[in-house]
Structure formats: C-alpha cells, structure tokens
Amino acid sequence: SMTDIYHNSRCSKSRQTLALLEENNITPNIIDYLNEPPSADALKQVLSQLNMNPRELLRKGEAVYKELGLKDTALSDDDLVDAMINNPKLIERPIVIHNGEAKIGRPPESVLSLF
C-alpha cells in the first residue's frame, strides 16, 4: 500500500528518514510540502492520522511563528491550520503516512513502527 512522506530536502531529519525508508525497501511518494502545501482538509487528515492537535505540529522556533503571534491560545485549531498551509515551513517534518496512520521522523527510527 501507499506510503507518503512530507519531505523537506534541506532538513537533515527529513533526509535521514527518507534514507531509512529506502534502506527498508519502502519507496514513498514524496510530498514537497514547502512548494506544494496541503489543503486545510488534507492537513487536518494528517493531524488526525498523527493523533495530534495543530498546535503540537507547529514549529515554534520559526520566525514566522513569532511574527504571526501564534502562541496566542485564543487562536482556534482552524486558525493554526490556516497559518500552516499559508506558511508551510511551520509544519513539523518529516511526516510519514502509511495505512491511515502517521508518525513524525523525530527520531527517524520512530516512523518504522508504521510498518
């Protein structure tokens, strides 16, 4: 069955995770999410597959996180999803999705539990 990876080629964890999949004879569909961000619905589905809320997936160290004031707890989940699809660098990476479940490759080995 199909395996997807939300991949950022400039991110070492993302590259390590992709290499680990390939070492295990898994050839994922590579989603270049920085250049082709997911729709709001697609990101909500990934969040549900990760069993995470949007705030947990935010990269809080990114400058745009501060610029947009995203630590404001009054923001709704939809507000945070919109921020991520409009500024995809805010999405934690890499995300591997397989058989309706997803894991973040931090550390890369954690994605192997999907298989």
Tens-digit pLDDT profile for residues 48-62: 999 999 999 999 999
11 labelled catalytic: yes
Share of the chain above pLDDT 70, in %: 100
Q: Is the pLDDT of residue 1 over 90?
A: no
| Residue tagged active-site, from 11, 34, 75, 85 | 11
Q: Is the pLDDT of residue 76 over 90?
A: yes
pTM of the model: 0.96
- Write the Ramachandran bin of 72: left for phi over 0, alpha for psi from -120 to 50, otherwise beta: beta
Comparing C-alpha atoms, which of 3, 81, 8 is closest to residue 38?
81
Give yes or no for a contact between 31 and 6, defined as CB atoms under 8 angstroms apart.
yes
